[in-house]
Structure 1
Amino acid sequence: MMDPPYYILFSTQPANSSSLGHPTIQYHYADDSPLALLPQHTDEHVLLLEYDQTSPMPTVTSTSRTLAVTGIKVEEAPGAAVAEDRHNDRMYIIEATTVLAEDKTQLSGERPSAHAVIAQFKQRKVILV
């Protein structure tokens, strides 16, 4: 079986734009405290990438209330083949989207207004297109 991709990027997709970023990677083991998986700052997002050698793709989840994972893909990492260390020269791209204020009220158990539901539908439709 091939080693997993060596590089990881994340792509955030608000309504009309997309940007790539390099995450800070921290390894977490089964016997580590689960409290380490919680965000340490209000603007910090924690994404959990769980790699299983028996599965072709890892699972990715978000612990943030303002960022939702929408997918993961594997692509070529441009320029990686020139590195002296030999490893899998592909990269994971974790796709995520910001959660709107209307979504946050649903998470807290409050009932959104009809206008908020329609605005949320339109925003999600833009993301999917």
Structure 2
Amino acid sequence: MLLLVNLNNKLIHPAIVYHYADDPPRSLVPQQDEHVLVLDHDPSGATPIVQSISPAISVTGLRIEEAPGAATESSDDRMFIVDATATTTQDRPMESSISERKPPHAVLAQFKQRNAELRRSLLYPPK
């Protein structure tokens, strides 16, 4: 299996780190100048799901193709290409960011919801 990220029409081979359901969710929080894409891959053949948890990257699609030069007897000769685009806050005017401010209880509720979604993304279906 080969994984490539197509970021603004430039193919990048990312560093791959495996995380499992019992790993702490904080390990997925992006560090400075780091972007995290979560690829939920089920080897049974279900269509994989990819998401970005980095505010500077948005996933726009996922393509699965045959890996060039892969051995014909290989059981997994697929290549995953994650289509993504960079997003910046420079595209938004200052007034919109000021108007987006929410009361603390709304921010906390949003944090809890996103945290629950992140935890669900780490859970694999039962076998």
Name the TM-score, length of structure 2 as normaliser: 0.66
Structure 1 residue aligned with 2:83: 95
User: Letter of the aligned partner of 2:36 in structure 1?
Assistant: V
What is the aligned-residue identity percentage?
43
Q: Of 14, 20, 25, which residue of structure 1 is paired with 2:11?
A: 20
Deviation at 1:64, TM superposition (A): 0.8
Give structure 1 stretches of 5+ with no counterpart. 1-5, 113-129
- Of 24, 37, 50, the residue aligned with 2:28 is 37
Partners of 1:105 and 1:77 in 2: CA distance? 44
Aligned residue number for residue 60 of structure 2:
70
**Aligned-residue CA RMSD (Å):** 2.8
- Give the TM-score normalised by structure 1: 0.65
Aligned residue identity for 2:23: D
* Alignment map for 1:45-64 (pairs within 5 Å): 45-53=35-43, 56-64=46-54
Amino acid at match of 2:48: P
Counterpart Cα distance in 1 of 2:28 and 2:78: 26
Change (3 A) 1:92 1:99: same
